[in-house]
Amino acid sequence: MTTAETAKAETATAETTNWGRWGADDERGALNLLTPEMLKAAAASIRTGRVYPLGIPIQANGVPLMDYRGKPMRLTLQDSTDEGIYDVYGCKPGTGAHEDVLVFASHTTSHMDALIHVYEDGHHYNGVPAGAMRALSGATKLGIEKVGGFAARAVLLDLPRYFGDPKWVEPGRNITGEDLAGASAAQGVDVRAGDVVLVRTGYLQMWFEQQGDSGFAQAGIGLDAAEWLAARDVVAVGSDNAAIEVIPFENNDFLAVHKVLLVRRGIYMIEFLDLSAPAADEAWEGLLTVAPLKVTGATGSPVNPIFVS
Amino acid sequence: MTTAETAKAETATAETTNWGRWGADDERGALNLLTPEMLKAAAASIRTGRVYPLGIPIQANGVPLMDYRGKPMRLTLQDSTDEGIYDVYGCKPGTGAHEDVLVFASHTTSHMDALIHVYEDGHHYNGVPAGAMRALSGATKLGIEKVGGFAARAVLLDLPRYFGDPKWVEPGRNITGEDLAGASAAQGVDVRAGDVVLVRTGYLQMWFEQQGDSGFAQAGIGLDAAEWLAARDVVAVGSDNAAIEVIPFENNDFLAVHKVLLVRRGIYMIEFLDLSAPAADEAWEGLLTVAPLKVTGATGSPVNPIFVS
Amino acid sequence: MTTAETAKAETATAETTNWGRWGADDERGALNLLTPEMLKAAAASIRTGRVYPLGIPIQANGVPLMDYRGKPMRLTLQDSTDEGIYDVYGCKPGTGAHEDVLVFASHTTSHMDALIHVYEDGHHYNGVPAGAMRALSGATKLGIEKVGGFAARAVLLDLPRYFGDPKWVEPGRNITGEDLAGASAAQGVDVRAGDVVLVRTGYLQMWFEQQGDSGFAQAGIGLDAAEWLAARDVVAVGSDNAAIEVIPFENNDFLAVHKVLLVRRGIYMIEFLDLSAPAADEAWEGLLTVAPLKVTGATGSPVNPIFVS
Amino acid sequence: MTTAETAKAETATAETTNWGRWGADDERGALNLLTPEMLKAAAASIRTGRVYPLGIPIQANGVPLMDYRGKPMRLTLQDSTDEGIYDVYGCKPGTGAHEDVLVFASHTTSHMDALIHVYEDGHHYNGVPAGAMRALSGATKLGIEKVGGFAARAVLLDLPRYFGDPKWVEPGRNITGEDLAGASAAQGVDVRAGDVVLVRTGYLQMWFEQQGDSGFAQAGIGLDAAEWLAARDVVAVGSDNAAIEVIPFENNDFLAVHKVLLVRRGIYMIEFLDLSAPAADEAWEGLLTVAPLKVTGATGSPVNPIFVS
């Protein structure tokens, strides 16, 4: 960091951020909170042995996509029309292989944001300047490959159940810290340091039922809940909506919650997770693994987190 | 299935295959073996709480790539030159987001094969004809989305250690069932039904040290080891090489081991996993999660399996 | 060709096809008709010196796209965030370059079909079997690179004008040989061997005005006009609609006109050309250049033909 | 333009640039020079009726590619495995269509630079700031779609012939204005306002013979020749090398000639044209059409210019 950046970082780290908390050069943020002991505790919390893959499909239609991100493409690289090309390797007649090429946005359907994803006042987490992201090389710092992949205890909070909503929380509702505390109390599960908190709003069920005719508004957490989560030192927050946070944005401030969690605290955000199956099973606690693809320099990755309860 | 296909399936299922074992319409193969009890046992096997993401980077250079699959591309979708586009959503000056588009083969670097990947005598696992893969729509059966994602007990067998090789098993060596049995006995770990067996050959360490100048040959399991694994009802086999199996192919039969495991038994194969870190820690047993992207109709997916020991 | 294919080709070439006309191995079809003398005549037909690029934009919205072909993507490869990467080559501060990566279907918006595009009874032009197209390598014969690029005399026939339609020919109308003869007579321009005939239906103007809300039907030539054109030994037919031919297809026979022109005669087809500007200028005759990208093995290419009248 | 930009533009336009020459908002540069009379003269210069497509293949191997631009991909979108999908449209058995998806850099193999391609002192042609190129939307000004496509008289200057080099001009040789004047005099062809000048260095023949083992250096025009061409008001300069200009760059100034031609004058540059066929035929003069794909916002386009002599 330049002197100016260091000065900026020092200001920002006063209480409201995690900048500098794990060193001036840290690129992993809240993942530093995780300890082997937490993992063992998470493993010990597995009771039913049920496994929930939380990702939704990646396809061109029938799933929520942002127009500017383009439509995912699966293209055939090799199929049965290629018979004979492996004869030199001893390929018998009738034997062959099918392969594809995939084209999609790093933030398509279920995905995890890298710390390079969002910046505020020209800076990312830990004072990394916005210019650390470059068009040709991608992220020179804070790229998704720095995450590597992680496992943690996860807690699922089911807000439609807590609010008594029939199917989903009404679009635009700002979920508060008190709401999260209330839901965790009602479900009998506590939020601890090092946890991933999965906040179910029912948005995906609304989207699938209405096939996208639901407009831009979504229920999600607001600034109060973001601070509540940050104060508890969670590692990541996942949700079933497009941006974790309530839309329209709180205070009409674009990505307000991303700035609190991702930029200031280095707390990861995982969007578009289908949380309906574990919610139906009342699987409130378990071990979660999140395995972004290690695409060097990328700003995020599609993921399919595995929740074992 | 047509009558002819049914007849074929009946022939093939005699002892040497799992066709029909989980129903004529089954598309998940050996994943049917997994039970909640196995998961609980896997969770109970977690001792140190260490977490190992096994995927290697996805990038255009410095990793093993097959020329015909093309080079992975990470392209910038949105960067700091786009300032102002979110003003309508209340975006403050200095705030912004970085995003990418990714282009790569489904079988690039660390990846998992779907059951639609390989066929023999014109048929895939469970008698599904090769024509179930179509260029435009992709896999109409046995696509990677049928996997969903899974967790299982995993056992790591370190063959260079067992053979006393200094760094890696010599290229072209055929690893047998006796070798696997010997390694598991030497390491004091048993292979059970429902396991994922991770076979370390050291190939990746050789590749990284030689930067691909090592030619086409690779150490890997042969037909004997494949039958040994199939007899134990494992769910999947992972390795650190390009194809799990020894190359040149045993009997000069292209994809001989793929045919035994993937086609005949529905046992999954996960290639190019970096197993060096858990091997160095002697982490022989633990919980593994494998989370392919749910790309509808795809023949495989890059993965970054998480091994918790 | 195998004996069977040769036999088939001999049958097919009886009168109704050009198979074998330019040799058993010919891959260029009607382009063989072009002579330097025709080119000189075409050059001599240039009167006003006006230049009309006939291609329409390639972009994700606002142009007619087929859903299955995906949306064209222009992605930034390099921009001003990359400052400094060329310092080693003497790049001065403030100097830089912008570049993109393009992703689109070969048949996106204005495009030319290669002879490998369509097959009938399992065979392409000149008896080339459908299997000459392979997923991995692409066209092993008749690919777009065999075209190279060409120039020819072109004649523009304006059907809305001829029919007295206010803006466009009504969707679904089958344009006949008599219609083409009538339009050419009314416009005082003749169709000769070696010509490209540009048939304006007004479809694009309808699409732009209605922004795609016009359904699937389109005016276009039918079988009678196709035979009329083939009998005159034209080199290519261009139009402003999606498939040159009337939709619903004549006799409810999918790609009926493609089979007559492209498959049986090797006459090229160029779709989605905006012919409104030369039509407004009554530029009925001139020199046309068509320059498909020489993508090895491709089934077609976007084009932007240049018409000089 | 802001006031500052206007001031800058005024300074820059003093003699050495074309900024402002065609209006403060002009985005087409030297294309403004073209008149219908020039086109008619170009048509009149056609003598032999020979047609030369000047583009080289777009493929992953065997052609000069810059590593950072990635390898071109042609991927199969639809092939004979898709039989049956068009039955609803009356598709007969045995009939089908082949299609692809293309992925490549806008500046891959034979290509044309848009005026947004290069900037100097933070500005493009006509004072357009570098920030007019944005990652998400692409070029907001000076994009390749502003070219549309054009035709012009073209003059081919064959430098190996002029220098008496056996096959190609030696790598690194700086071709001067005097060289261009000498070659045109020796060939008996003059360079006029509105021309495209095609400068053959033999680079492609060297590359094909040596398959890229020729290093980075290339013969090309230097600043003197650039000024010579600019003084003659040419519309575009094409060459058979990677950047038109000599490499190492003159004065070790990155893209020195691009700055003179593209940035200051709005004169277009077209790279990697295979000029060997017309040179062998001594086709020194003719009509050239250049038809970039109208990709909205792109910084350039692959092209396959058609030269008719």
Contact at 8 Å (CB) between B279 and A281? no
Between positions 102 and 131 of C, the ones with CB within 8 A of A are 103, 131
pLDDT band at B14 (very low <50, low <70, confident <90, very high): very low
Closest CB to B81: pick one of C81, C103, C136: C81
With contact defined as beta carbons under 8 Å apart, do D125 and D5 qualify?
A: no
Q: Does C83 touch chain B (CB under 8 A)?
A: no
Judged by CB atoms closer than 8 Å, whether chains meet at C78 and A135 is answered as yes
Please choose, from the candidates A69, A112, A114, A109, the residue with its C-alpha nearest in 3D space to the C-alpha of residue A263: A114
Q: Going by C-beta distance under 8 Å and a sequence separation of 6 or more, which residues neighbour residue C119?
A: C129, C130, C263, D80, D94, D95, D96, D97, D98
**Measured between CB atoms, which of A102, A294, A298 is closest to B55?**
A294
Nearest to C295 by CA among D108, D132, B224: D108
Would you say C260 and C227 are in contact if contact means Cβ atoms under 8 Å apart?
yes
What does the alpha-carbon distance between residue D191 and residue D174 come to, in Å, rounded to a whole number? 20
- A160 cis-preceded (ω within 30 degrees of 0): no
Task: For chain B, give the percent of residues with pLDDT over 70.
Answer: 95
Residue B1 pLDDT greater than 60, yes or no: no
pLDDT at residue C5 in the model: 52
Q: What's the mean pLDDT in B51-74?
A: 96
pLDDT beyond 60 at A225: yes
For the stretch B214-252, pLDDT in tens is 778 999 999 999 999 999 999 999 999 999 999 999 999
The label of the residue with tokens 């030994």 reads C233
User: pLDDT value at position A309?
Assistant: 97
> Hey, is B121 helix, strand or coil?
coil
CB contact under 8 A, D78 and C68: yes
Residue B206 DSSP SS3? helix
Task: Tell me what the mean pLDDT of segment A125-142 comes to.
Answer: 98
Nearest CA in chain B to A258: B97
Rounded distance, CA D227 to CA D174, Å? 13
Q: What is the mean pLDDT of residues C92-102?
A: 97
**Which of B74, B255, B291 comes nearest A97 by C-beta?**
B255
Q: Which helix (H) or strand (E) holds D258?
A: helix D256-258
User: Count of B–D CB contacts within 8 Å?
Assistant: 45
User: Phi and psi for B94 in degrees, rounded to 5?
Assistant: 90, -10
Report the C-alpha gap between D102 and D58 in whole angstroms: 10
Helices (DSSP H) in chain B: which residue ranges? 3-12, 36-44, 159-163, 177-187, 203-210, 223-231, 256-258, 276-280
pLDDT confidence of C278, banded at 50, 70, 90? very high
Nearest to B183 by CA among B151, B160, B216: B160
Q: Are A82 and B242 in contact (CB under 8 A)?
A: no
DSSP code string of D171-189: TT-EE-HHHHHHHHHHHT-
- pLDDT at residue A244 is higher than 80: yes
Cβ atoms of residues C63 and C57 within 8 Å = yes
Note the ipTM here: 0.94
Which of A71, A76, A135 lies nearest to residue C81, judging by beta carbons?
Answer: A135
Task: Give Cα separations from C175 to B107, C139, C200, C221, C277 (angstroms).
Answer: 49, 32, 11, 4, 21
One-character DSSP codes across B72-101: -EEEEEE-GGGTTTTGGGTPPTT-EE-EEE
Quote the DSSP letter at residue B56. P
Q: Which of C66, C200, C247 is nearest to D77 (CA)?
A: C66
Name the neighbours of D, counting chains with at least 3 Cβ pairs within 8 A. Answer: A, B, C
Set of chain D residues whose Cβ sits within 8 Å of the Cβ of B136 = 77-78, 82, 85
- Tell me the average pLDDT across C286-299: 98
From chain C, the residues in CB contact with D149 under 8 A are: 51, 53, 55, 304, 306
Assess whether pLDDT exceeds 50 at residue C255: yes
Distance from A106 to chain C by nearest Cα, in Å?
13
Q: Could you tell me if residue C267 is left (phi over 0), alpha (psi between -120 and 50 degrees) or otherwise beta?
A: beta
**Residue D67 near chain A (CB below 8 Å):** no
Burial class (CB in 10 A: 0-12, 13-18, 19+), B112: buried
- Residue B267 parent element (H or E): none
What pLDDT, on a 0 to 100 scale, did the predictor assign at position D303? 98
Q: What would you measure as the largest C-alpha separation in chain C, in angstroms?
A: 69
Q: In this predicted model, what pLDDT tens digit does every residue of B77-104 receive, in sequence order? A: 999 999 999 999 999 999 999 999 999 9
pLDDT above 60: residue C283: yes
Closest CA to C221 of C198, C240, C201, C245: C245
Residue A14 has pLDDT above 50, yes or no: no
- The sign of the dihedral angle between the CA atoms of B76, B77, B78, B82 is positive
**Helix H or strand E encompassing D76:** strand D73-78
If pLDDT is split at 50, 70 and 90, which confidence band does A5 have? low
B81–chain C Cβ distance below 8 A for any pair: yes
Tokens representing D226 are 């650039």
- A13 pLDDT tier (thresholds 50, 70, 90): very low
| Cβ–Cβ < 8 Å for A198, A147 | no
* Separation CA A77–CA B299 (nearest Å): 10
Q: Kindly indicate the confidence band of residue A17, based on its pLDDT and cuts at 50, 70 and 90.
A: very high
DSSP codes, C86-143:
TGGGTPPTT-EE-EEEEEEETTSSSEEE-TTSEEBTTB-GGG-BGGGEETTTEESSS-
- pLDDT of A213 reads 72
Mutate to test the interface with A, among C61, C73, C108, C140 (most CBs of A within 10 A): C73
What's the CA gap between C158 and C174, in Å, rounded?
15
Partner D contacted by A77 (CB < 8 A): yes
Residue D227: CA atoms inside 13 Å, Cβ hemisphere, count? 7
Q: What is the pLDDT of residue B138?
A: 98
Dihedral sign for Cα D178, D184, D190, D192, please. Answer: negative
Which residue in C181, C189, C144 sits closest to C285, CA to CA?
C189
Q: Rounded CA gap, C284 and B123, in Å?
A: 57
Cα separation, C99 vs C79, in Å, equals 7
- From chain A residues 24-53, the ones with a CB under 8 A of any chain D CB are none
Mark C288-301 as b/e (b = at least 16 C-beta within 10 Å): bbbbbbbbbbbbbb
Query: Could you tell me if A85 lies within 8 Å of chain C, comparing CB atoms?
Result: yes
Q: Is B70 on the interface with D (CB under 8 A)?
A: yes
Query: Smallest CA–CA separation between D129 and chain B, in Å?
Result: 12
* Residues A146, A27 contacting (CB under 8 angstroms): yes
8 Å CB contact of C137 and A82: yes
Would you call C76 and A135 a contact, using CB atoms and an 8 Å cutoff? Answer: yes
Tokens found for residue C111:
């495009």
A68 interfaces chain D, CB cutoff of 8 Å: yes
pLDDT beyond 90 at B212: no
Q: Which amino acid is at D265?
A: R
Rounded CA separation D167/B291 (Å): 56
Q: What is the largest CA-CA distance in chain B?
A: 69
Question: How many CB pairs below 8 Å do chains A and B form together?
Answer: 331
Type of residue found at B96:
G
pLDDT in tens, chain D (309 residues): 455 455 444 444 446 999 999 999 999 999 999 999 999 999 999 999 999 999 999 999 999 999 999 999 999 999 999 999 999 999 999 999 999 999 999 999 999 999 999 999 999 999 999 999 999 999 999 999 999 999 999 999 999 999 999 899 999 999 999 999 999 999 999 999 999 999 999 999 999 999 877 778 999 999 999 999 999 999 999 999 999 999 999 999 999 999 999 999 999 999 999 999 999 999 999 999 999 999 999 999 999 999 999
Residues near D199 by beta carbon (within 8 Å), at least 6 away in sequence:
D157, D159, D175, D180, D220, D221, D225, D237, D238, D239, D240, D244
Q: CA A218 to CA A172: how far, in whole Å?
A: 5
pLDDT at position A15 is 61
Share of chain C above pLDDT 70, in %: 95
pLDDT over threshold 80, residue B5: no
